[in-house]
A and B are shown apart, each in its own frame.
Chain A
Amino acid sequence: MRRRWASVALHAVLVVGAALSLFPLLWMVSGSLMSTGEANSFPPRLLPHHATLAHYAALFTQLDVGRYFLNSVIVAGFATAVSLFINSLAGYALAKLEFRGRERLFRILVAGLVIPAQVAMLPLFLLLRSLGLVNTYLGAMIPAMATIFGVFLIRQYVLSVPDDLLDAARMDGASEFRIYWSVVLPVIRPILATLAIFTFLSTWNDFLWPLVILSDNAKYTLPVALAGLSGEHVQDTELMLAGSVVTVLPVLAVFIGLQRFYVAGILAGSTKG
């Protein structure tokens, strides 16, 4: 009997917690479907009287959100693809290939993990400016294309790949690149999925760097565009909520679809801090 009450109380707390946690997201969706002015009524409403997609239509026809969406897809997609290749090559080399200075190199990279990205930001801006990369997709992608965290994540995983597998391929006369490409990559697919999700989400969600490096409306990613629009359209609550939905929905979908890999990656990063 006591156990039963404990279980009821436990689930009551869990349900209230889940409701609080999801409420802002659910209200965002609900508000985005309200007709103009409805989200600013008093007393406030939770659900739309007549759900409408008019604000979504307005986003794409009047505010050019399709363009920003495309920019975000290009920046996050490209950065993810490139970072998978570069980070996995380096992570594999650090884990399995013998060379002098390997330990020292690894220690230097790990030490770099404690440096906040903002410290590099001002000179990086000047550097990219002199390379003509201000206001380009490439400029927006550069900090995500190879990361210490990514190299580290791959290295930790590749350490667990048995050496016999690599030696057998070597005996067969496979080149080092061939071993990486046809032996290593297939067995480390789970961590590649993890890294892909991490890179995609963090590039998609990133705000400060694209805000700094993209100066022209036509190149803005969704968060930069949304921050600007939300200043101009403060009164258009429903419209801005719809803009937030468009920005958040892709990352939530990626997360829910690929949760398994994402969670595995967080745990991999936490066990070896």
Chain B
Amino acid sequence: MMPGGRTQARAAWLFLTPALIFIGVFFFLPVIAGLALSLTNFDIYAIGHPENVQFAGLANYRAMVHTDLFWTALENTLYFAFVGAPLSVLVALGAALLVNSRLTRWPAFFRTAYFAPFVTTLVAVAVVWKYLYHPRYGLLDAGLAALGVHPVDWLGDPRWAMPAIILVAVWRSFGYNMLIFIAGLQRIPAELYEAAELDGAGSWARLRHVTLPQLAPTFLFVGVITAIGFFQLFAEPYVMTGGGPLKSTLSMVLYMYEEGFRWWRLGSAAAIAFSLFVLVLAITLIQLRLERERTS
């Protein structure tokens, strides 16, 4: 260590202190407390009288797995994530290939147009989409009617409400993934394409044998990031459906919010939050595993 290492170490801790206090006290500590909270009977009576809180072991988790609503919320969330995230990734890949094509003029304009929905406020665009989905005055049904398709009550029909929310989420999220794909495409060495062309590979063969394999790491990253984001579905059902009809769009975070902040059953809500965490962790571990297999 160079001289002055001691003052450097002191400065380092000084510089880190504000961030570590905020992240430690307002993030890591609550995460640990959340686990503890899920093991208690904390409810509305405990808010004014914390001395009433009792250790409850796994009671919240036991009650949770015996509640139909929990399984509905889990199923809806998995449906949303496992249909919505791959769709978002596919649309993003298509958009990236088009925008990045050598023939494309004004790529910057198209990139911005596709990306713009991502920066918008979710609550605001959910309000807008709610009107677009209106069964009588909505433009979506009007457009479909012009194509001869019968009108659908998108947000009022339990079969269609979740697909309608998926469409909003894909619309809003694909631009972000597209940017990451474009960066991945631009990292592919041009020699690979030249070599393929010399071998007589057409554009389809080049896509299949050069582009897609080279994008494999990007795929993994984008897929996992998107799935994790999609597991946290909340604002769309809160604004557009309130979790209905018939609980068909009740997500885990919405369920947690209602348990915790509407009914003030914080112990039970914390157990839901932790199941969400386990789900996200499992997806992340699968990603790491796949990443290792790919590189080894």
Contacts and interface: CB of A to CB of B under 8 A. Distances in A.
B294 interface: no
Contacts of B4: 170
Nearest to B256: A118
Contacts of A20: 171
Give the interface centre of B18, B104, B284 by most chain A CB atoms within 10 Å. Answer: B18
A204 B121 contact: yes
Contacts of B286: none
B179 A267 contact: yes
B105 A11 contact: yes
Q: Is the interface of B mostly helix, strand, loop or mixed?
A: helix
Interface in B214-247: 218, 221, 225, 228, 231-232, 234-235, 238-239
Given A93-B12, A273-B221, A146 B18 contact: yes
B110 A93 contact: no
A245 to B, nearest CB: 8
B206 to A, nearest CB: 14
Contacts of B221: 270, 273
B12 A43 contact: no
A25 B19 contact: no
B281 to A, nearest CB: 6
A185 to B, nearest CB: 12
B123 A207 contact: yes
A248 B120 contact: yes
A46 B19 CA distance: 49
A80 interface: no
Given A99-B9, A237-B131, A248-B124, A114 B171 contact: no
Given A112-B28, A124-B26, A251-B120, A17 B98 contact: yes
B13 interface: yes
B169 to A, nearest CB: 13
B19 A87 contact: yes
A21 B16 contact: no
Contact of A177 (B8, B11, B142, B183): B11
Interface size, A (range)? 35 or more
Given A39-B131, A123-B37, A208-B253, A266 B180 contact: yes
B232 to A, nearest CB: 6
Grouping DSSP codes into helix (H, G, I), strand (E, B) and loop, the A interface class, with mixed when no group exceeds half, is helix
A86 B19 contact: yes
Nearest to B128: A28
Contacts of A147: 23
Given A39-B137, A116-B277, A24 B180 contact: no
Interface in B96-137: 98-99, 101, 103-105, 109-110, 112-114, 116-117, 119-125, 127-132, 134, 136-137
Interface in B1-19: 1-2, 4-5, 7-9, 11-13, 15-16, 18-19
Interface in B281-295: 281, 284
Interface in A1-51: 3, 6-7, 10-11, 13-14, 17-18, 20-22, 24-25, 27-28, 31, 39-44, 46
Contacts of B21: 146
A169 interface: no
B84 interface: no
Interface stretch (B62-70, B156-164, B188-196, B268-276): B268-276
Given A86-B18, A227-B123, A259-B112, 16 more contacts: A10-B101, A11-B104, A21-B114, A27-B139, A28-B124, A90-B16, A99-B12, A119-B34, A124-B27, A145-B22, A146-B19, A180-B15, A205-B119, A222-B124, A223-B122, A226-B124
28 contacts: A3-B103, A17-B95, A17-B98, A21-B175, A25-B116, A25-B117, A39-B131, A97-B8, A98-B12, A109-B23, A112-B31, A116-B280, A117-B232, A118-B273, A119-B30, A122-B270, A123-B33, A124-B30, A127-B26, A143-B27, A146-B21, A146-B22, A223-B235, A227-B239, A244-B124, A252-B116, A267-B179, A270-B183
